[in-house]
Amino acid sequence: MRTKIAERRVEGVNRGIIPLVAFLFLLAIGGRAGAQSSTDTLPPSPPSEVTAFDTHNDAGKNITINWKLSADDGTGRNTVKGYDILRSESRSGEFEMVGSVVAGISTFQDDKVENHRNYFYKVRAKDHRFSESGIVGPVQASGQWYNTNRTVVLIFVVIFTALVIYFVSSAKKGKKLYIRPIPGMDAVDEAVGRATEMGRPILYILGLSTISDVATLASLTILGRVAKKVAEFQSKLLVPCYDPIVMTVAQEVVKNAYLDAGRPDSYDESNIWFLSQSQFAYAAGVNGIMLRERTATNFYLGMFYAESLILAETGNIAGSIQIAGTDAVVQLPFFITSCDYTLIGEEFYAASAYLSREPKLLGSIKAQDWGKMGLIALIVLGGFFASIHHLSGFVNLFTVGH
């Protein structure tokens, strides 16, 4: 009896509760669906303050479009997925999509435009729906004739060129310009003399770069002066070259130096030759020359790389006097440890002026000195202003853009 009553009670409960739960469940789903559909009916807030302009400081065919982010991008309902950029050639014409960006980005560059043609733009914020900004335009792309981002470089070039011209002119007018002694260059005479006494050749390495490298050009200038001394002393000069064009120029330089010294018959073109354009093959070749010929003096003047220590140490083993000069800052320590004299940085560029004492060349050294003083003053000022928070914008004056 009790079991039957209990069974009827359970049955009764089941009959009552299940529909109630189902009803509540349907209510919940319906409500949520109601809530979703009420969100879906609203598109995101449109982007605003859209501007379009010809991209600055470029060759043309590029328009920049900027806008303010939609109120629903990262804030508000936070539903924006991205933006589409639309373009037309007339305000009332058909707009086509030219690009899109993800949410959070408020700029786009359209590089598929022609110069001097009118374009109109609008920007669309999108999630499941979209909303558009107003139309901006007309805007035209064009190339600029001056890159304002490089103004600071222009100012510096003008000032420095003016300094060079001023000091060269002063020197030509006879003004005496002092240049401090450069020990490596003072030793050239001694080094060449030593080679002559020992009856052993002098080795001159122009570096491992091409004729377009300023270091190679500076080295060729020094070669001319060294070759003239060698011609006067009646020694032998060996110049194995890394680059074929440098070789042809070096041959001319040495030939003219021998002519200037009044010893054209002593000039032997086969002493200036192309060795190899492979870095370590060149180093191996030069090492072989140093050890076989037992060169008395080695000059390393130009651009060098990892082979610098290999050359200098081998020269040291061979017992040669060694004079080095390079603008490759990273190789300087190797030359300093292994060579008798090393021209550091600009001393190398000043060497040709120092050897020749030509007023025009000395004038340019003076301009470099004044240029350096200017840079030092700027560094001190820059350090001072950068340390003061509200004056740190001073540093931005010297930023060079693209």
Partner 1 sequence: MSIYEKMMSIDRRVLFVLIALSVVIPLLKPLLLPVNVTKEVKHLYEFVDKLKPGDVVLLSLDYDPSTMAECQPMAISILRQCFSKGIKVIVTSLARPEGLGTAEMALTQAAQEYHKKNGNDYVFLGYKPNAAAVILAMGENFRLAFPNDYYGTSIEDIPMMKGIKNYRDIKILVTISGSGIIDTWVIYAGGRYGVPVGAGVTAVMATDYYKYLQSGQLVGLLGGLKGAAEYEKLIKHPDMATKGMDGQNMAHLLIVFFIIIGNIGYFLGKRAKGIKGR
Partner 2 sequence: MRRQIPLAITLVGGVVMIIQYFIPHQISQEIYRGSLDWLMIIAGFTMVLGIGSLVIHHTDKLKHHREGWGYSLVTLAGLAVMSIVGLIWGMAGDKPFMQIFIYAQNPIQATMFSLLAFFIASAAYRAFRARSFVATLLLLSAIIVMIGRVPIGAKIWSPIRLVSDWLLDYPNMVAKRAIGLGVGLGMISTALKIILGIERSYLGGVK
Among 25, 273, 384, 398, binds partner 2 (CB under 8 A): 273
- For residues 352 to 391, the per-residue mask of contacts with partner 2, x marking binding by CB under 8 A and - elsewhere, is x---x---xx--xx-xx--xx--x----------------
The encoded tokens of residue 110 equal 């359209």
Residue 300 touches partner 2, criterion: CB under 8 A: no
Among 113, 230, 247, 324, binds partner 2 (CB under 8 A): 247
Residue 343 touches partner 2, criterion: CB under 8 A: no
Compute the least distance from the CB of residue 380 to partner 2, in Å.
13
d(CA 219, CA 349): 8
The encoded tokens of residue 216 equal 């190679």
Residue 88 touches partner 2, criterion: CB under 8 A: no
Among 135, 187, 198, 309, binds partner 2 (CB under 8 A): 309
Q: Is 369 exposed, middle or buried (0-12, 13-18, 19+ CB in 10 A)?
A: middle
CB crowding 201-237: b at 16 or more within 10 Å, else e: bbbbbbbbbebebebbbbbbbbbbbbbbbbbbbebbb
- Under 8 Å between Cβ of 255 and 223: no
Residue 327 touches partner 2, criterion: CB under 8 A: yes
In the list partner 1, partner 2, none, the entry touching 284 (Cβ below 5 to 8 angstroms by class) is partner 2
- Under 8 Å between Cβ of 68 and 49: yes
The encoded tokens of residue 227 equal 């070759």
Residue 279 touches partner 1, criterion: CB under 8 A: yes
From the list 44-52, 198-206, 221-229, 299-307, the region that binds partner 1 by CB under 8 A is 299-307
CB of 17 or CB of 245, closer to partner 1: 245
- Name the pairing type of β-strands 321-326 and 82-88: unpaired
Phi/psi zone of residue 52: left (φ > 0), alpha (ψ -120 to 50 degrees), beta?
A: beta
From the list 118-126, 175-183, 243-251, 390-398, the region that binds partner 2 by CB under 8 A is 243-251
In the list partner 1, partner 2, none, the entry touching 303 (Cβ below 5 to 8 angstroms by class) is partner 1
Q: How many residues in the shown chain lie near partner 2 by CB under 8 A?
A: 86
CB of 83 or CB of 242, closer to partner 2: 242
In the list partner 1, partner 2, none, the entry touching 190 (Cβ below 5 to 8 angstroms by class) is none
What's CA 243's distance to the chain center, in Å? 25
